Structure 1
Amino acid sequence: MDLLDIFIQTIGGLGLFILGMKMMTEGLEMTAGPRIKRILGAISSNRFMGCATGAGVTAVIQSSSATTVMLIGFVGAGIMTLEQAVGVILGANVGTTVTAQMIAFKLTSLALPAIAIGVPMKFFSKRRRNRHIGEIILGFGLLFYGMTVMNHGLAPIKNDPEFIAFFTRFSTDTYPGILLCVAMGALVTIMVQSSSATVGLTMTLAAQGLITFPTAMALVLGENIGTTITAEIATIGSTSLSAHRTARAHTLFNVLGVSMIVLMFPWFVKIVTATTLMMGADPVTDTVNGEFLNVGRYIANGHTIFNVMNALFFLIFLPQLIKVAIFLSPREKKKERYHMPSFDARFIDSTIGALAKVRGEVVQMAKFTHRSLTNTCECLIVRDDDRLAEREAIEEHIDDMQKVIIKYLTSIYQGEVNETEANEISEMMRITNNIERIGDSMENISKILEKIYENNYIISDDAVGNLVRISSEVEQFFNFVIKEMGERTPGFMAMAKAKEDLIDSLREKMRQDHIDRLRTDSCSVDVGVLFIALLSNFEKMGDYCFNIATSIDSIQ
């Protein structure tokens, strides 16, 4: 076999591995997505529980990068704090080692049967759930078939003097050699964009005897750094502070963790070897037909031991880690009043993360509208021409926010989404549209108040009191549904229905009071028409708030 064939087989096998990994991750995320979202959204402030949750979730979806993207979305949406997210990411680093453990079990004989089962399920099943399960099985098969192809590609070169001379450069006998291996592992992971793939490649090189076990461990340490640099590159140009801080914390605990292990590297290798032997594994030096069949188990255990040790150490010092991450992140800029929603393209690859990001931006849109409503309602008592004159700019900004959010939701919907996610996209569109309608009613109220003040109409104290009362109830209702977007209160819909009914009853009572004032001639007809129009707009806003509450309740 010539050099070109070896290169093609090795790179092709690596490509199959990455394709299988990505396919399996997407299938698992689509199948378990709703449960993962509920689990991550319900994480407590206990950092150890968060770490355990992160390990479990990542073990299920087989991708720490996917978990990290979800968490950045949740932090941006206000569903969890930065400290909670970083605790979960520490666990995600442990969970991602499950892939290496799975590879070490040598399940290559199942590769072709898995492909044979997965292909018809993915491409010919009518049920969406079965297609996703087929994607998982097919991904599993491609992953292990890729390992087989890489093994066959690298097998002929293990006796070639030139290749042996090349690989022996990566020696861990000295600290410069260890650092070279760490740097090489990080570089390859940046190029491949998958630490699981580079760990798999490292296992293949070690199994063929091209690199020693200590060299493989040094490469794996570098691969842990490489996977964080991928996240750092993804934050370039991002306006999300939570994205920068989360990525920075991720980088910090991996770089610092690797640095500590490098200082005690010979002892770390001995710990991994002793632990694996205690678990009943055969010696790492045993060979069968020239292959080091046991080395994969030692590498997988070393990968796991490093990440468990790293997670436990930094869980203790988590507050300090976050302070350093915040210090090394961009400074928070003063928020512009007319701030447009910002979406990163990388969130599209994670529907759960993308929807969490959308929810955060919808909450910001609602808060802006609520602040504007409060300012408008204050004009019921004190005339403020500047505030009233700003209505067109406010309405235009709310319309622009609606367009950006709807466009992003549409782009998510055009991808592969499950039934639950499709429902959430639909309901988020409905929430956004109802917030925009509140903005329309708010603009109408501003116009009516401006007309009243320009014409020097006199509104009775009773009428003003009624308007202040109903506007206060609408403000409270709107604020209530905004809070419910983040954390659901038991009996939420019953409270929402009661608030809507109260606003409806207030409008009817106030209309009757107005009729009574007309009878006693204490209110002019012109002012009365405008008063009824104000009541109608406030009542409509109550309806829109209830529509938002219904959509929130429909999202699982």
Structure 2
Amino acid sequence: MRELQVIIAFSGFIALLLWGVHMVQTGVQRAFGKTLGVWMGRAMGSLPRAFGTGLIITAAIQSSTATGLMITGFAMDGLVSLVPGLAAMLGANVGTTLIVQALSFNPTALAPGLVLIGVWMFRHYAPGRARDLGRAFIGLGLVLLSLNELVTMFEPLKNAPMLGTALDALGAAPLLALLASTALTWASHSSVAVVVLIMSLAHHGLADPTLAYTLVLGANLGTAINPVLEGGYDDNPASRRLPVGNLGTRVVGCLLGMALLPWANEIMTVLGQDSAHGVANFHLAFNLVVAACFMPIVRPYANLLQRFLPQRINPDDPARPRYLDDSAREVPAVALGQAAREALRLIDLLRESLQLTERALLHEDTPAIGRARYLNGAISQLDQSITAYLATQDQESLSAEDEKYLKTILAFSTNIAHAASVSGMGLLGHASRLQKKHWVLESGQQQELQQTMDRLQRNLRQAASLFVSGDRHVARTLAFEKDYFRTLEAEAADRHLERIKTGQIEAADVGAFYLEVLRDAGGVSAYLVNAAAYPILAHYGELLPNRLRESD
């Protein structure tokens, strides 16, 4: 019974450790996610900068897996070439060791203060960067508390026969120990948590140095598996070059490390006698050696990966950029023109998506829902590619007019992507619900909805025209569409209330559903106004700061 309680407590503290790491990752990514991505894209110009970028980003978000997935995403968009991507992954693997080094000094006394500050920030601030940083502080405090409890737990386990037998078996079978640590790290998505656990085992004498170092090698191998499984999700082998290349460096490093294990303890003893710090130092030394071995040969290694994982391009893939040419970056005006042409493709994709959405809502065309969702996903990916392309443009080469045009393109692209998101999550979701519930709209509602979808198509054409022409009067016309959709929704709401008052309760569900459809249609139109009309009207000084009347 006592052993069962210990196992449950141990599992609980491991779960708390993983949850704390997760909170730190999500907090930092929510607070600086897009900024981190843009900064990473700008800093990947040379091998040393790419290495340092991977190291710093991983130290900030405490996860080489998350960094690997982020860099893989840039590589799949064609915004990061393979060579600096591999260098960044080597830096990310070193960055995760710095976290372990910091935790090896057991700063548990800071935990209550971090949790206190984090909870205050989370409850005091509205949703935003400060609140997300509060989440990160809470997570860091939970990590320190869980580590302290794990260290305390291992003290009475020194003489536990079951644990000793299991560790002795792993010590006698190094390959099995390597695979077990690899599987644990893969399952937990956190090499930091696994290495810290190994440090606790070594600190209490439950794992001899050779076994501890073998388990560390497994942790380094396991953390490279998740980007391979989660990063390359299409049928293009080239999308898997970066994660597979990172896994290759881990495999070679582990083979080298297993061969040098008999001398590892003597080398680590020179750096210090403490066994826990010895594990952290071995973790750092392993990644530094791997980085030192692969950095000089990263270019031929990339050529080898390109040979075995060739590029397979689907010319009909709507998410693939067609005009974002890297060679155009030398002339800012040309680069911005290419980005503007790519942004106009978003209009074409959204037009087709809205046509399919109309068929799904009014004609119960089920296949149209899937195709429209696919196009909306392509719009989101293309918007990310445009954003990253513009963000990585050399800012020093831009004139004041170029900077203004760049921001106009970004605003247009982002708002079109938001319109597609509202259409996908809102209107297409309503179409699926309509078919699932077997509801039938009234003839008047169908006619009004048909006119609404036609109006969206007209607004979309006006938005494309404004993006090219910048016509002031057309911009005012498009801006007044917000009033039209606001009035449309208000009139539909009044009719819905009248039906309920007259006892037509059976029409209440369909009426409420129809209001949601109109509301989301208005949301799509609002983003079109934000994309094309407002930037022009703001330029001419025709926008008020807000809609509030000044108080007396």
TM-score by length of 1: 0.61
Q: Which residue of 2 aligns with 1:254?
A: 250
Distance 1:235 1:26, change over 3 A: closer
1:463-491 Cα shifts (integer Å, max 9, x gaps): xxxxxxxxxxxxxxxxxx99757625633
Q: Distance in 1 between matches of 2:465 and 2:137?
A: 54
Q: Distance in 2 between matches of 1:95 and 1:270?
A: 25
Q: Distance in 2 between matches of 1:88 and 1:79?
A: 14
Asked whether the 8 Å contact 1:13–1:148 carries over to 2, the reply is no
Which residues of 2 match residues 408-447 of structure 1 at below 5 A? 428=383
Is 1:302 equivalent to 2:278 in the alignment? no
Question: Which of 180, 187, 204 is 1:184 aligned to?
Answer: 180
- 2:277 aligned counterpart, secondary structure: helix
Which residues of 2 match residues 39-438 of structure 1 at below 5 A? 39-126=39-126, 128-171=128-171, 177-235=173-231, 237-239=233-235, 241=237, 243-274=239-270, 276-277=271-272, 283-284=273-274, 295-329=275-309, 331-337=310-316, 339-341=317-319, 366=342, 369=345, 404=374, 406=376, 428=383
Which gives a bigger RCO, structure 1 or 2 (Cα 8 Å, sep 6+)?
1
- 1:169 aligned counterpart, secondary structure: helix
Q: CA deviation at 1:228?
A: 0.9
Question: Which of 539, 543, 554 is 2:469 aligned to?
Answer: 543
1:42-72 Cα shifts (integer Å, max 9, x gaps): 2254212211221122112211112112212
Q: CA deviation at 1:187?
A: 1.6
Q: Distance in 1 between matches of 2:534 and 2:262?
A: 61
Which residues of 2 match residues 489-508 of structure 1 at below 5 A? 490-491=397-398, 494=401
Q: Distance in 1 between matches of 2:45 and 2:305?
A: 19
Distance 1:263 1:483, change over 3 A: closer
Distance 1:395 1:93, change over 3 A: same
Q: Which residue of 2 aligns with 1:447?
A: none
Asked whether the 8 Å contact 1:493–1:549 carries over to 2, the reply is no
Q: Which amino acid aligns with 2:298?
A: L
Q: Which residue of 2 aligns with 1:377?
A: none
Asked whether the 8 Å contact 1:24–1:136 carries over to 2, the reply is yes
Q: Which amino acid aligns with 1:336?
A: P
Q: Distance in 1 between matches of 2:206 and 2:388?
A: 59
Distance 1:242 1:20, change over 3 A: farther
Asked whether the 8 Å contact 1:20–1:138 carries over to 2, the reply is yes
Distance 1:341 1:369, change over 3 A: closer
Q: Which residue of 2 aligns with 1:512?
A: none
- 2:170 aligned counterpart, secondary structure: coil
Which deviates the most, 17-26 or 41-50?
Answer: 41-50
Q: Which residue of 2 aligns with 1:289?
A: none
Distance 1:407 1:544, change over 3 A: farther
The answer for unaligned runs of 5 or more in structure 2 is 321-337, 359-367, 407-461, 476-530, 539-552
Asked whether the 8 Å contact 1:99–1:196 carries over to 2, the reply is yes
Q: Distance in 2 between matches of 1:120 and 1:498?
A: 41
Q: CA RMSD in A?
A: 4.3
Q: Distance in 2 between matches of 1:32 and 1:273?
A: 40
Asked whether the 8 Å contact 1:198–1:223 carries over to 2, the reply is yes
Q: CA deviation at 1:11?
A: 0.9
1:165-202 Cα shifts (integer Å, max 9, x gaps): 22112226xxxx33232222112112222111111211
- 2:207 aligned counterpart, secondary structure: coil
Q: Distance in 2 between matches of 1:133 and 1:12?
A: 25
Q: Which amino acid aligns with 1:487?
A: Q
Q: Percent identity?
A: 23
Q: Which residue of 2 aligns with 1:528?
A: none
Larger CA Rg, structure 1 vs 2:
1
Q: CA deviation at 1:250?
A: 0.9
Distance 1:90 1:32, change over 3 A: same
1:330-369 Cα shifts (integer Å, max 9, x gaps): x4335233x2438xxxxxxxxxxxxxxxxxxx97992995
Asked whether the 8 Å contact 1:5–1:153 carries over to 2, the reply is no
Q: Which residue of 1 aligns with 2:30?
A: 30
TM-score by length of 2: 0.62
- 1:96 aligned counterpart, secondary structure: helix
Q: Distance in 1 between matches of 2:19 and 2:147?
A: 12
Q: Distance in 2 between matches of 1:38 and 1:482?
A: 6
Asked whether the 8 Å contact 1:186–1:222 carries over to 2, the reply is yes
Q: CA deviation at 1:235?
A: 4.0
Distance 1:62 1:409, change over 3 A: farther
Distance 1:310 1:542, change over 3 A: same
Distance 1:5 1:112, change over 3 A: farther
Q: CA deviation at 1:403?
A: 6.2
Q: Distance in 2 between matches of 1:248 and 1:340?
A: 26
Q: CA deviation at 1:216?
A: 0.8
Q: Which amino acid aligns with 1:248?
A: V
Asked whether the 8 Å contact 1:235–1:247 carries over to 2, the reply is yes
Q: Which amino acid aligns with 1:198?
A: V
Distance 1:67 1:497, change over 3 A: closer
Q: CA deviation at 1:321?
A: 1.9
Distance 1:171 1:482, change over 3 A: closer
Q: CA deviation at 1:18?
A: 0.6
Distance 1:341 1:38, change over 3 A: closer
Distance 1:130 1:364, change over 3 A: closer
Which residues of 2 match residues 14-25 of structure 1 at below 5 A? 14-25=14-25
Q: Which amino acid aligns with 2:303?
A: K
Is 1:9 equivalent to 2:26 in the alignment? no
Asked whether the 8 Å contact 2:94–2:287 carries over to 1, the reply is yes
Q: Distance in 2 between matches of 1:21 and 1:491?
A: 40
Q: CA deviation at 1:116?
A: 3.0
Question: How many residues get paired?
Answer: 393
